[in-house]
């Protein structure tokens, strides 16, 4: 197991190197000059050139990359062009809303999608099964921002049950924190629920046809025990895999969801940084998202052995 973890950790290094190079080159080669954005519309060419010199943007691309990656390896992520703060300070200020949104979405999506996926497999061909399959298609088809605006219209404007925008820290007021997390979490979890429930249904259906399931039923075990202890456990590996892949949905959806609901998280910071051509902030946030995605998938790979001991060998 330790050898497996060591190999996977070593494999992370080239992945992050490719991400760093790709993001750096993509930002440098796309149209738009951060110096011109900072200088404003009335700035002269000399003023823009002076700003480029101060920011180090007049250096060759590979020199800029070498300076940036060298600083990153030392824990220095640079200073934001637009916010006039260090990037590490910006991320520390914005990470809590994104982390809260991701955890709430993940807990809600998994607790809803896995049971309905198992029940849809158990009642294959029923009205409930068709409803789950229809929801899985609809959840993937409708964009997240459309779902968000629909929820805002129904629960915030028409019914007045929930606030529309803003964020309250969990340590300040727990109930206001929950109120402001409900709509964003529901918006972000729709696509996640659609994905997990569909894969759960397919995996459990495949397992239900195995001989050991018929043996468990022949022993007189209840349907709940057969489904939860025997079927779901042996179908867990594909479900865990799709949960790991769904982290990409959370990361991408957080950008849109935080913008719709005005959450001051990393997703909204990414949008603001892109609009202002804030290179250090964009590069660091995307690199951070990549690290989180890779590490979570590593943890999911390790968790496979808890459900299927054969994987250890």
For the chain, domains (ranges, CATH) are 2-73 (no CATH), 93-307 (1.10.3720.10)
pLDDT value of residue 308: 63
pLDDT value of residue 72: 85
CB 72 within 8 A of CB 280: no
Alpha-carbon distance values, 208 to 121, 202, 221, 230, 308 (Å) = 8, 10, 14, 9, 17
Q: What gap in Å lies between CA 263 and CA 291, rounded to an integer?
A: 22
Alpha-carbon distance values, 40 to 47, 202, 273, 280 (Å) = 10, 55, 16, 20
pLDDT value of residue 307: 66
pLDDT value of residue 49: 81
Q: What is the pTM of this model?
A: 0.81
SS3 (DSSP) at 219: coil
For tokens 């249904």, the residue is 201
Q: What gap in Å lies between CA 214 and CA 221, rounded to an integer?
A: 10
Task: Name the burial class of residue 168, with classes exposed (0-12), middle (13-18) and buried (19+) by CB atoms within 10 angstroms of its CB.
Answer: middle
pLDDT value of residue 311: 60
pLDDT value of residue 1: 63
Q: What gap in Å lies between CA 281 and CA 231, rounded to an integer?
A: 46
pLDDT value of residue 222: 75
For each successive 10 residues of the chain (313 residues), what is the average pLDDT?
72 83 83 75 77 78 85 84 84 88 88 88 85 85 85 87 83 85 89 88 83 77 76 79 78 82 86 84 87 80 68 56
């Amino acid at each position: 197991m330790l050898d497996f973890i060591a190999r996977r950790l070593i494999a992370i290094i080239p992945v992050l190197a490719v991400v760093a190079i790709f993001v750096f080159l993509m930002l440098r080669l796309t149209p738009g000059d951060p110096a011109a954005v900072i200088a404003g519309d009335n700035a002269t060419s000399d003023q823009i050139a002076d700003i480029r010199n101060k920011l180090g943007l007049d250096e060759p691309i590979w020199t800029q990359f070498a300076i940036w990656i060298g600083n990153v390896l030392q824990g220095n992520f640079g200073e934001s062009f637009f916010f006039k703060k260090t990037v590490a300070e910006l991320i520390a200020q914005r990470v809590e809303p994104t982390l809260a949104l991701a955890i709430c979405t993940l807990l809600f999506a998994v607790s809803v999608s896995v049971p309905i996926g198992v029940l849809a497999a158990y009642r294959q061909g029923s009205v409930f099964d068709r409803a789950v399959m229809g929801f899985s298609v609809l959840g993937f088809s409708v964009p997240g921002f459309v779902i968000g605006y629909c929820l805002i219209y129904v629960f915030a404007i028409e019914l007045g049950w929930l606030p529309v925008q803003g964020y309250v820290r969990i340590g300040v007021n727990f109930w206001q924190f929950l109120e402001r997390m409900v709509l964003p979490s529901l918006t972000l979890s729709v696509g996640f629920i659609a994905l997990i429930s569909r894969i759960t249904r397919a995996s459990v259906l495949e397992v239900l046809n195995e001989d050991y399931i018929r043996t468990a039923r022949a022993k007189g075990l209840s349907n709940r025990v057969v489904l939860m202890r025997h079927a779901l456990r042996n179908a867990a590996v594909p479900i865990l895999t799709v949960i790991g892949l769904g982290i990409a949905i959370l990361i991408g959806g957080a950008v849109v969801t935080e913008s719709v609901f005005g959450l001051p998280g990393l997703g909204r910071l990414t949008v603001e940084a892109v609009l202002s051509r804030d290179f250090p902030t964009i590069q660091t946030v995307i690199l951070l998202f990549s690290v989180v995605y890779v590490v979570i998938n590593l943890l999911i790979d390790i968790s496979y052995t808890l459900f299927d001991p054969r994987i250890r060998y």
